[in-house]
């Protein structure tokens, strides 16, 4: 569905708390707008859930409502535990999931 | 006779055109006219639904917001909660509410001790100037709250 981007440091020290930034292109249709031509309501379609898994469990999650801007950007922090993948999941209304994964190297 | 007919016709057309733009303008202004809007009471209710009758404290939560937001479509919002973020003492969740948007809820952030720091930033929509409320739920059951006002020059939500 959508193009997702994630920015995380390539290498971190064990125990270090580092910032992760993510961005996904998505209209975040609020369900409140009217189609200019037909005058009908445009159905709501937003990403309602964002989840980050690292070290085998969810370390950060977020629930979104229509008040979250289009192309949702979010930044948050994670404590480095062990080298491995950090997985990102964006879930859209209707259940469609966009996934992205980055490798975190812990030294 | 025919001339009169034409002028009448033009006038009629002008009137129609004006009426047309009037409708368009009304349409864009009243984008949410038929929809329920949030108000401070709706925010209070949403908070109560979330945390129950717990007492809220202030001090631990900081909201980073612009004083004046030029574009209501994307207003940067940051929230930070003071916490050691250990397995026995951490921030479980932070909820963001807006009191003049079409609906009170904005977002919920769920933290774990592995988050290391309860700090998040996001971009949100604001239809007009309003108060933003952040409610933080701690692992020990305490609830912290903060409220900030933002002035919006051009409203968001596709308006």
CATH code: domain of residue B123: 2.60.40.2470
| Interchain proximity A76–B109, CB inside 8 Å | yes
Residues B132 and B72 in one domain: yes
Asked, for residue B159, whether it belongs to a domain, the answer is no
Per-residue confidence of chain B (159 residues) as pLDDT tens digits? Answer: 444 444 445 455 554 454 444 444 333 433 444 456 888 999 999 999 999 988 999 989 999 999 999 899 999 999 999 999 999 999 999 999 999 999 999 999 999 999 999 999 999 999 999 999 999 999 999 999 999 999 998 776 554
Asked, for residue B150, whether it belongs to a domain, the answer is yes
| Interchain proximity B158–A74, CB inside 8 Å | no
Give A10-19 pLDDT, tens digit per residue. 899 999 999 9
| Interchain proximity B109–A57, CB inside 8 Å | no
**pTM reported for the whole predicted model:** 0.83
What domain range includes position B116?
40-154
The number of domains in chain B is: 2
Could you tell me the two tokens for B19? 């009426």
Q: How far is A30 from chain B (nearest CA, A)?
A: 7
For chain A, domain boundaries: 4-106
Probe site for chain B from A34, A65, A82, A89 (most B CB atoms < 10 A):
A65
| Interchain proximity B103–A66, CB inside 8 Å | yes
| Interchain proximity B74–A79, CB inside 8 Å | no
Q: Supply the ipTM of this predicted assembly.
A: 0.94
Residues B72 and B96 in one domain: yes
Q: How far is B8 from chain A (nearest CA, A)?
A: 29
Q: Is the dihedral of CA A34, B154, A46, A5 positive or negative?
A: positive
The set of residues, in sequence order, having a beta carbon less than 8 Å from that of B110 and lying 6+ positions away, is A58, A60, A61, A62, A63, B92, B93
Residues B135 and B94 in one domain: yes
Domain A4-106 belongs in CATH node 3.40.1080.10: no
């Amino acid at each position: 569905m959508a193009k997702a981007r994630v920015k995380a440091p390539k290498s971190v020290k064990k125990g270090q708390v580092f910032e992760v930034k993510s961005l996904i292109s998505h209209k975040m249709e609020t369900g409140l707008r009217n189609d200019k031509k037909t005058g009908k309501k445009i159905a709501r379609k937003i990403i309602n859930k964002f989840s980050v898994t690292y070290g085998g469990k969810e370390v950060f999650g977020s629930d979104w409502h229509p008040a979250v801007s289009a192309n949702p950007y979010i930044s948050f922090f994670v404590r480095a535990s062990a080298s491995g993948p950090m997985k990102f999941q964006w879930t859209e209304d209707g259940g469609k999931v966009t996934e992205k994964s980055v490798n975190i190297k812990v030294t | 006779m025919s001339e009169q007919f034409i002028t009448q016709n033009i006038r009629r057309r002008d009137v129609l055109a004006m009426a047309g733009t009037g409708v368009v303008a009304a349409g864009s202004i009243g984008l949410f006219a038929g929809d329920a809007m949030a108000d401070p009471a709706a925010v209070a209710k949403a908070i109560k639904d979330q945390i129950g009758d717990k007492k809220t404290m202030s001090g631990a939560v900081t909201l980073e917001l612009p004083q004046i937001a030029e574009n209501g479509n994307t207003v940067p919002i940051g929230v930070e909660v003071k916490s050691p973020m250990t397995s026995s003492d951490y921030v479980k969740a932070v909820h963001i509410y807006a009191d003049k948007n079409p609906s009170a809820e904005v977002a919920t952030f769920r933290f774990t001790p592995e988050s290391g720091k309860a700090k998040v930033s996001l971009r949100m929509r604001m239809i007009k100037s309003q108060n933003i409320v952040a409610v933080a739920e701690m692992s020990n059951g305490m609830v912290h709250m903060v409220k900030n006002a933002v002035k919006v020059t051009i409203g968001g939500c596709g308006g």
